[in-house]
Every structure is written in C-alpha cells, then in structure tokens.
Amino acid sequence: MKAILQRVLFASVTVEKEVVSSIGKGVLVFAAVAPGDTEKEADSLAAKWKKSVMDISGEVLCVSQFTLLASTKKGNKPDFHGAMGGEEAKRLYDYFFEKVQQGYAADKVKNGVFQAMMEVALVNDGPVTLELSAGQKPIPAPAPTPTPNQQ
C-alpha cells in the first residue's frame, strides 16, 4: 500500500456536485492498494502516522487513489497495472479505513467514495506532504558504472 499525507487546514470531497465529506485541521490521506497487499500492510500504513494526527487533535479524510501506483517508465501514457483492481481493492481499502477509525477517533475520520469521480479540495498547511508505503519491495539501487581504471 502507498499513501500520500497532506497536513491541511481544510479538505473536502465532492461527488456529483454534493459534498460527501469534509474536515477542518488535520490530515488528508490519499491511499492506494497494490497487488499482493494484505491486511498486514493496511495495519502498518494505518498506524504509521496516527500519533501525528493525535498531537494536533486533528481530523482525517481518507481518499482512495489508485493513480498513486501508476508507472510512467514506458511511453507517454501511465500504466496502472501496479494498482490492485476491483472488489479486492475495495475490500482492502475499506479495511484500511476502518483501521484508521479504530486507531484514532471514528467521528474524526471521514471517507471519500471508492471508485467515484471525486473533486478533492484542500488548503495545505505548511505545506507538509509525506509519502508512506507498506509492503512494497524497495527499488534496488543501480549498479555502479565501472570507471576506465576498474575495467
């Protein structure tokens, strides 16, 4: 799983011209589920930043965003095969959201609408933006290029 956290003064989600969720001071969490992710990764990701939100007595707005796992290595068009699809992704995202609620204060944790076309509005505070991941294999460092004396 991967998440982008933004500390915000305000954030909201609108679907079909209706505000479905909004928060004041807190954290906006964009979260994506990758193939092979399990409840273990969701637990880990939900716990990584909890203390930061508690420290400011803030609110949390979670938004599913599969595009966080896009690859742009080939061509001009993003490849979204790095994101888990369908019902399994929804089940694991919902599990993640429930873990965030359980680990904090359920009434202070709001949600977007999974697989909906959402308008997300925010006022970034700081700005502070963090990228977190759980369960993804680290990208290996490239092998050093030998110098002419090493060949």
The catalytic site residues sit at 67
Residue 130 CB neighbours (<10 A): 14
Secondary structure class of 82 (helix, strand, coil): coil
Residues 118, 13 contacting (CB under 8 angstroms): yes
Residues 64, 10 contacting (CB under 8 angstroms): no
Distance of CA 70 to the CA centre of its chain: 13
Strands (E), 16-144: 18-23, 26-32, 59-64, 109-111, 119-133
